[in-house]
Structure 1
Amino acid sequence: MNTTISNNGLPKFTQATGSSGNGPSTAGANPPDAAAAAPKADDQVRLTDSALALQQAARAGDAPVIDSQRVERLRQTLADGSYKVDAGRIADRMLALEQQLGGTGKA
């Protein structure tokens, strides 16, 4: 099965070689291969606060340690039927999460 994707009537733009951004083309000054191979010394990357927070959270050294004794206690209470669900605590945490996510704050 073949699928053809058209440009949906959008104009086609050609990419100028050897130019950067909207500035004048310098194709005659530098060969296109040399400009593409060597990165500029002034290139920078700026991360948002959210991206920095995600990066910190993803670090392997910051991963929480699993408390195997607690896991085993929970497993046992589930197995013997003595685990109690605190519906009020669950509801409170769900409301707090909703408020953090930008909810209306009505509770």
Structure 2
Amino acid sequence: MSDSINGLGKPGGPLPSRPASAPASGNGPAPSTAAGGDSVNLTDTARQLQELTRVAASAESVDPERVAAVRQALADGQYAIDSRQVAERLLQFDN
């Protein structure tokens, strides 16, 4: 199936492209060439996002020692809840 708009998609028709010197965004692309000659440009922002995603995925989200301490305090009846502190922190989410 081919696009009839401006001859795009037709055999021998023009290919939609952007010059290699024109980045997708203004964050300074870093070119990468695949074995087949195709290239991909990642912006600095995209590379930072990839790194942050990798770090977040490898981070431990639960502190098992803290969980054990809270469980023990609950079991012993020693866990005190400061309602004022809870309210203040809930209000921080609205800002």
- TM tier relative to shorter chain: 0.3 to 0.5
The structure that is strand-richer by fraction is: 2
Q: TM-score w.r.t. structure 2 length?
A: 0.47
Max radius of gyration: which structure? 1
| TM value normalised by structure 1 | 0.43
Question: Taking CA–CA contacts closer than 8 Å with sequence separation of 6 or more, which of the two structures ends up with the larger relative contact order?
Answer: 2
